[in-house]
Amino acid sequence: MLSNVSSAFRGIVAKKAMSKPQGENMTESNLYGVLTIMSFSLLLPFSLLIESPAKIASVWGAATASGISSGYIAFNLLMSGVCYYLYNETAFLALGRVNAVTHAIANTVKRIVIILASVVIFKTQLTPLGMIGSGIAVAGAFLYALAKQASGKKKPAA
């Protein structure tokens, strides 16, 4: 739920930034790139405090000792990062074209679809708390759709 809230907050702040010119050639893609660089710069010291280079090296060593090649690990780390970056850049492009609340609802529904697909395809057990969270997210998306539809209807003349 914290991920949903922080993602929605990021979308709202980014949408506000997109509504007024931030500089020359600051498109949605460039805005996401700048935010990513700033986030990386701010979070790197904290991540190195939490996950020290020695700990990272020991995990890497344990993985390679189990028979996984360093090249395979590095390639998968790189591809994971590239795919995640492109996924988020696409989300920012979509955010530039729709309302921030609509984007947040679509993102929540996307997460529910992923959870349900993992339950069906990978036979992942869904905990009672996971079911409650998914239910709340679906209900929220449904209620938002109803409220948006009701607000769009014209009131009859008195």
pLDDT tens track for 94-107: 878 887 777 777 87
Q: 132 in a domain, yes or no?
A: yes
Is 4 inside any structural domain? no
Contacts of 7 (CB under 8 A, 6+ apart): 104, 107
Judge whether 91 lies within some domain: yes
Band (pLDDT 50/70/90 cuts) for residue 1 is low
Percent of the chain with pLDDT over 70: 92
> What is the domain count for the chain?
2
Per-residue model confidence (pLDDT) at position 2: 67
- Give the pLDDT of residue 4: 63
Residues 6+ apart with CB under 8 A from 106: 94, 98
- For range 144-154, the mean pLDDT: 73
Segment 18-38, tens digit of pLDDT: 777 777 777 888 888 888 898
Per the domain annotation, does 11 fall within a domain? no
Say if 43 falls within a structural domain.
yes
The mean pLDDT of 115-138, rounded to a whole number, is: 84
Which pairs from 33-36 meet CB under 8 Å and 24+ separation? 33/89, 36/85, 36/88
Specify if 28 maps to a domain: yes
Q: Is the pTM of this model over 0.85?
A: no
What's the whole-number average pLDDT of the chain? 83
Kindly state whether residue 44 falls inside one of the protein's structural domains. Answer: yes
CA separation for the pair 138, 144 (Å, rounded):
10
SS3 label, residue 109: helix
- Residues of the domain holding 107: 99-153
Both 86 and 108 in one domain: the answer is no
